[in-house]
Amino acid sequence: MSGSIEVPEEWVKAVGSFRFPAETDGRLQWLMDRNNEGRLSTEQQDELASLAELSEELSILRGEAAQYLGDSDS
């Protein structure tokens, strides 16, 4: 079995543009600020951890999409 698949370039571009909605991004920033101040509840700490993990995954996907698009320009 091959380690790669063909996907439409439009799909890769769409993945490369994934971002949190403004409200979610604002919430993440607020949670990070409160965390830096040591003012998060346990529930908020869990929310921050989840959003941070998702943000990291999105960043990885965007990076991989950018790399693919850069490779496909060759």
How do residues 15-48 score in pLDDT, each as one tens digit?
A: 889 999 999 999 999 999 999 999 999 999 999 9
pLDDT at residue 5 in the model: 79
**SS3 state at 45:** helix
Task: Kindly report the pTM of this predicted structure.
Answer: 0.78
Q: What residue spans define the domains of the chain?
A: 21-72
Q: Which amino acid is at 39?
A: R
Phi, psi at 16, each rounded to 5°: -65, -20
pLDDT at residue 74 in the model: 45
Helices (H), 1-74: 9-16, 22-36, 42-72
Place of tokens 């919430």: 27
